[in-house]
Structure formats: C-alpha cells, structure tokens
Amino acid sequence: MFKLVREMQTKIKKIVNLDELAAGHNKRKIIQQAIFTQLCQMLDPGKPSFTPKKGKPSVVMFVGLQGSGKTTTCTKYAYYHQKRGWKPALVCADTFRAGAFDQLKQNATKAKIPFYGSYMESDAVKIAVEGVETFKKENCDLIIVDTSGRHKQEAALFEEMRQVAEATKNLHMVPELSSNANFETRSCNIVMDSSIGQAAFDQAQAFKQSAAVGAVIVTKMDGHAKGGGALSAVAATKSPVIFIGTGEHMDEFEVFDVKPFVSRLLGMGDMIGFMDKIHEVVPMDKQPELLQKLSEGHFSLRIMYEQFQNILKMGPISQVFSMLPGFSAELMPKGREKDSQAKIKRYMTMMDSMTDEELDSSSTKFMNESRIIRIARGSGHQVREVMEMLEEYKRLAKIWSNMKGLKIPKKGEMNPQTQTKNVQQLGRFLPPEMLKQIGGMDSLKILMKQMGAGKDMMGM
Ligand SMILES: Nc1nc2c(ncn2[C@@H]2O[C@H](COP(=O)(O)OP(=O)(O)OP(=O)(O)O)[C@@H](O)[C@H]2O)c(=O)[nH]1
C-alpha cells in the first residue's frame, strides 16, 4: 500500500509542477484532476478481463474471505449472465460453513438456476468435480463454483482452494466430457468487501498465490465504504475489477465502471452513473422532446407522471438518487424505499383521475376545490393527499423551471459557449448543497467534460 501511494505521489509530481503554474490557476482543482486521472490508471491493469463465451463451457471459481459476500455474488453473477442468454449453473464447494449449501440452494431456486451441492460430503474437491461434470453434461456454458471462505487467510483454505482449482482444471482430460467441450476456459474471481481497506493488498496477493485470480468483484458498495481497497486488489492481482455489488438483492449488481468509482472515492458524486441511469430509463426517442419541453419552462403534471413512471422502472429508487450527494437523505431516506415507491404509485393513481387538460398544463390553475374533491373521490384517496401531491408537483416544477432557456445542441454541435452556458444552467438547477459537494462550478465543468461529448444529455 505504501508503495502504491509513493508511486502515485511521484507520478503526480511529474504531471503537476506547482511552481510553474501561473497565478490564477486553481491549484486544488488541478491536483484533484491529476489524482483522478492517476487513480483511474491504477484501476486499469492493462489487460482485458476474462469474459465467458456463450455456448462454450467455462468454469468460474469464486474465492474470498468469509462474509465478503461470495455466495451472494455467485448468484448475482449467474443471474446477470442468465438474463443475457448464458446457461449458468452453481456448484457449492463450500463445505466449511454449515448452511452455505442451503443459502446457495435458496438463491439459486429463486433465480431458477440449476445448482449442485451436498449436505453429507465434506470433500470440497469431490463436490467441485462432480458438480462441474454434471453441468457440462447438461451443456451449461457458465459453471460457477463457490468455494469456502474462512475468517482470515489460512493455509488450509488456500490448499483446498488450490486443489479445487486444479481439479476443475483437469476435467477436460476426462474423455467422455471432452467430447462435447470445444475448449474449456477457466477463471477465478476474488470477492472483496468494500470496507476491507488496507488489508486488501495482502489478502488479494495471498489468494493470487493459490489460484489464478483473473478478476476482482467488490461488494457492499451500497454502504458507507468507498471501496478504496479495490485499488490495492488490482495492484496485487494485476486483474481488473469487473463488477460491484450494490445491495443484498439479486439484481443489485453492476458492471464496474472506473470513472464513477473514482469520483465516489474522491467524494465527487456519481454524476455519470446518474446520467446513465436516466439514459437507461427515459426512452431515447423521448429524450429530445423532454429536454425541449424543459427548455421552454414547461413542466406539467404529465411530465411529472412520466418521470415517476421512469423512477419506478429504475428499480430501487434510492439506488439512483444515492449517486448524487445530498439527494438520498432528502428525497428517499435509506430503508424507506418501499414507502417512497408506494407514495409515487399513490400520486400516479390520483393523476390517472385527471383530465388531459389538467395534466398538460404547466400550472395548477385548473385545480379548484371541486376538482380536487372530484380527483380524490375518483382515485379513492383523501383530499389531503391530492393537495400533498400538488405540493410535490409545485416543488418539482420550481426546481425544473431553472432549466428554462437551456440550449439544446444537436449531435456534434456542442461549442464552448453553449457548454459554458449549460454548465451555468445546470449549476442553477442543482441544489446548492449538492453543488458544494461536487466542488463548485469548476468541478461541475470538469465532470461534464468527463461525461464525454458522445452523450446526448451532455446538452444539459
Ligand atoms: N448491502 C449489501 N450486502 C451484501 C452485498 N453482497 C453480499 N451482501 C450480504 O453480505 C452477507 C454475507 O454474504 P454471503 O454471500 O453469505 O458471504 P460469503 O462470503 O459467501 O460467506 P461465507 O460463505 O461464509 O464465506 C449477507 O448478508 C449478504 O446479503 C452487497 O453488495 N451489498
């Protein structure tokens, strides 16, 4: 770890020569930018990660300390690939922890993924071999082997791990299996808790010595820990981080993206992830239309309705908002996601009882007492609740009204003036507390640049 810091220090000193910087340069910002770039480079081991090929058998073994989230991550990894057309299977070669097989079985059943394991057998190697053999015969193309975790790095654990790796490696030598296996590829993922911190280097290195670690997965990124240990793990294993775990649920699993990760590490907030999420859920053909309306200062109840629809589509709402500093506590308190979703659904039911004219207006001028009573009755809600929904609309309309006058560049038409103007605009749009956390207007500008000109939303 010490070595890493020293290396980074030297590199930054080479890039940023503070004495030569002319007065007026914001030194803090320049250093921050250099650190950002360096950290991004450190997370790039310079070699691509192992990607299983559809239709060709691959065995991926998962290793990690006890409680790192290994078993959960195995299922998430399987589920992720299943959704994308692979035929995964899970093998529980964790014979150390009582209950490990039950956990895997439960998860696998929920995700409808075939699994293999035993309550009686204590030989992890035997189970691994049998499991892999079974699933190869069933033509599974992604066989995931969960191995035992221990409290700390122990010789016995590594020996067992080495044997499992060795045994599953030799499987393609078995004649009846090799006949349908074109060529079998193997990889080993190390799972690390994001809160591991300084111990990450030694741990990753120890694992690396016993199994050919090919990739790192960092779990529990939804918590407070920023996952700095990932830097050490990459350095120790010379392997990339491929996924991050962002919650206990099966689908709370994301492809690792270096820039947002480093932004978060430096406390800059994940603007990019936020924009990507918006990209994902607002249908592409609707985006220009939405931006146009907003730039005209036209925020109607219908737009709010559509945004609510999008938010519900995004899954756990807090996940989206937690990417923005300051937002999560304010809008969607953690642990109250269900309440927030229920509230949004309630609001939408009320809006379903409104007329088109009401929905498309950019004010609440039609909302007199009798209409409010009618909407409440029509949707089976209290008058008080309708009023509350309208208040929420007014609050959002006020925030979004700052988007008025936004210049919407056509693809490739972004010039520096438009960009500066839009950065200012966005600066006004963001809540002051959030802008402060990002690091003020200058940082916002840097962030916008980092988002890359390719993104349509850059227009914002
Ligand atoms: N919040 C959060 N919790 C997670 C995440 N990944 C795993 N967990 C939780 O962490 C705990 C430990 O996960 P397991 O998968 O049982 O850990 P393990 O490493 O397999 O443990 P052993 O089998 O004992 O080695 C469980 O309560 C999981 O639900 C994550 O990304 N976010």
100 lines ligand 1 (CB under 6 A): yes
Identify whether the C-beta of residue 97 lies closer than 8 Å to the C-beta of residue 151. no
- Taking residues 110-130, what's their average pLDDT? 91
Ligand 1, atom 21, residue with closest C-alpha? 67
Q: What is the pLDDT of residue 243?
A: 94
ipTM of the complex: 0.96
CB-ligand 1 contact for 150 (6 Å cutoff): no
Residues 454, 460: Cα–Cα separation, whole Å: 13
Q: What is the pLDDT of residue 378?
A: 93
Q: Map out the domains of the chain with their CATH numbers.
A: 2-42 (no CATH), 58-265 (3.40.50.300), 284-293+407-460 (no CATH), 298-401 (1.10.260.30)
Report the separation in Å between the CA atom of 151 and the middle of ligand 1, taken as the mean of its atom positions.
14
Of 348 and 398, which is predicted with more confidence?
348
pLDDT in tens, 70-116: 999 999 999 999 999 999 999 999 888 878 899 999 999 999 999 99
| H or E element in which residue 373 lies | helix 369-379
| pLDDT digits 0-9 by tens, 284-308 | 556 566 667 767 778 888 888 877 7
Report the b/e string of 58-95 with b at 16+ CB within 10 A. Answer: bbbbbbbbeebbbbbbbbbbbbbbbeeebbbbbbbbbb
- For the Cβ of 69 lying below 6 angstroms from any atom of ligand 1, the answer is yes
**Is the CB of 71 within 6 Å of ligand 1?**
yes
Percent of the chain with pLDDT over 70: 65
Q: Considering the chain, what is the average pLDDT of its residues? A: 75
Angle subtended at Cα 413 by Cα 412 and Cα 417, rounded to the nearest 5 degrees: 135
**Is residue 228 within 6 Å of ligand 1 at its C-beta?**
no
Stretch among 188-197, 258-267, 319-328 having the lowest mean pLDDT: 319-328
Q: What is the pLDDT of residues 201-235, one digit of tens each?
A: 888 888 887 777 889 999 998 877 778 888 888 88
Q: Is 168 in the pocket of ligand 1 (CB under 6 A)?
A: no
pTM above 0.90, yes or no: no
Give CA–CA dist 46/187, Å, rounded.
Answer: 17
Q: Does ligand 1 lie within 6 Å of residue 195's CB atom?
A: no
Query: Tokens standing for 111?
Result: 């995700």
Q: Is the CB of 107 under 6 A from ligand 1?
A: no
pLDDT tens-digit readout, 32-78: 777 888 888 888 888 777 888 888 888 898 988 888 999 999 999 99
With the most atoms of ligand 1 within 8 angstroms of its CB, the residue from 72, 251, 322 to mutate is 72
Q: Is pLDDT at 137 greater than 60 in this prediction?
A: yes
Closest ligand 1 atom to the C-alpha of 246?
A: 31
For residue 254, report the distance from its CA to the centre of ligand 1, in Å. 16
Asked whether the predicted pLDDT for residue 325 surpasses 50, the reply is: no
